[in-house]
């Protein structure tokens, strides 16, 4: 039995949120708007935005503490029927199936909340096996492997494209 819940973000407890987000393995696997080091100022700005209805963001709460984040971000222009899924979890809680279940819960919420959205996409780095496995277990299909499309921390990375359709 997994003891976690997805709940809306609040602006309280930014210090604990900073502690988890400042783990270098978090920023190393995400896009650059989540920096390392991650400061209280970064957390305050994030939490303010995270309370808006769009992007649809949820805090992953374990034992009353926010230990991770998951969100659906609308794409624009020709991609406007797509949303991008992003997530991270504090190191102490990994490997227990929490993110697989969080993805399983958020995806139907996203399709229900945004009726125009036909496809939810996630793009882990080629080396991010944990993220790829969580996506596969949650029902995503690997659509493409793009080689050397990304640069993270000065290193060229592969981009694997996973998606689930309505
Ligand atoms: C990716 C991440 C969210 C996964 O969360 P999680 O709750 O640990 O994921 P789950 O436990 O649901 O599933 C992870 C799976 O990967 C496996 N795994 C973890 N590390 C692995 C590794 N280095 N190599 C192979 N498999 C690995 C786990 O064993 C598990 O598979 P299993 O259930 O078959 O045993 C978490 O590792 C994380 O926050 N990483 C840093 C940020 C990040 O990468 N975000 C995603 C960006 S696309």
Q: What's the domain count of the chain? A: 1
Residue 80 CA to ligand 1 centre (angstroms): 29
Global pTM? 0.97
Would the CB of 75 count as within 6 Å of ligand 1? no
Nearest CA to ligand 1 atom 15: 130
What's the CATH code of the domain at 55? 3.40.630.30
Would the CB of 128 count as within 6 Å of ligand 1? yes
pLDDT tens, the chain, 166 aa long: 679 999 999 888 788 889 999 999 999 999 999 999 999 999 999 999 999 999 999 999 999 999 999 999 999 999 999 999 999 999 999 999 999 999 999 999 999 999 999 999 999 999 999 999 999 999 999 999 999 999 999 999 999 999 999 9
Residue 2, pLDDT score: 76
Residue 97 domain boundaries: 5-165
The torsion defined by the Cα of 138, 88, 14 and 108, in degrees rounded to 10, comes to: -20
> Which atom of ligand 1 lies at the shortest distance from residue 131's CA?
1
């Amino acid at each position: 039995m997994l003891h976690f819940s997805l709940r809306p973000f609040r602006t309280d407890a930014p210090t604990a949120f900073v502690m988890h987000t400042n783990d270098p393995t978090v920023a190393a696997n995400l896009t650059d708007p989540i920096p390392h080091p991650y400061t209280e100022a970064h957390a305050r700005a994030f939490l303010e935005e995270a309370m808006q209805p769009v992007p649809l963001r949820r805090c992953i709460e374990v034992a009353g503490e926010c230990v991770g984040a998951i969100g659906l971000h609308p794409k624009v222009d020709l991609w406007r029927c797509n949303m991008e899924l992003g997530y991270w979890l504090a190191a102490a809680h990994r490997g227990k199936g929490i993110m697989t279940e969080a993805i399983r819960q958020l995806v139907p919420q996203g399709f229900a909340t945004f009726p125009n959205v036909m496809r939810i996409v996630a793009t882990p780095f080629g080396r991010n096996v944990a993220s790829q496995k969580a996506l596969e277990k949650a029902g995503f299909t690997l659509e493409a492997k793009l080689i050397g499309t990304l640069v993270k921390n000065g290193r060229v990375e592969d981009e694997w494209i996973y998606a689930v359709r309505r």
